[in-house]
Amino acid sequence: MRQFFKFAVVGASGLAVNLVVFTVLQHFDPHHAQFWHFEALYTIGFFAGGVSNYYFNRVWTFRSTGHVLREGAQFLSVSVVAWLVGAGVSYALAGVLGRGHRLWLAATLAGILVNFFLNKYWTFKHVA
């Protein structure tokens, strides 16, 4: 439970990074000509948050001293799975929620449990 709480705190910080990147890129085009597609914004924000999540989960949540590149590759793989889950949710719910922040939130939340359990039991499985 304690690790899940820490994972949630780190996730909230990554969520903030994700949201800021998503929002800044969404407003990058002052004429709102929709230069950026939702999927591109979602992907860029998701992986920007993922980079900070990896670092803080490695150092604080799981206190790992494992091989940085191996863990990084595993964490990235898990992030891709979580991204696919989120992308599937966004595809399924876009007609209901629109293509803004509500859809972003639904897509992001969809991958949280998958993300935690795959990282806990695969990426950081060697950590007690």
Show pLDDT as tens, one digit a residue, over the chain (128 residues): 788 899 889 989 998 998 899 888 887 765 555 656 777 888 888 889 988 999 999 999 999 999 999 999 999 899 899 889 988 988 899 889 987 888 888 888 888 778 888 998 999 988 75
* Closest among 47, 58, 59 to 83, alpha carbons compared: 47
pTM of the model: 0.68
Q: What is the spatial distance between Cα 105 and Cα 22, in angstroms, rounded to a whole number? A: 11
Could you state, in order of their start, the residue ranges of all structural domains in the chain? Answer: 2-123
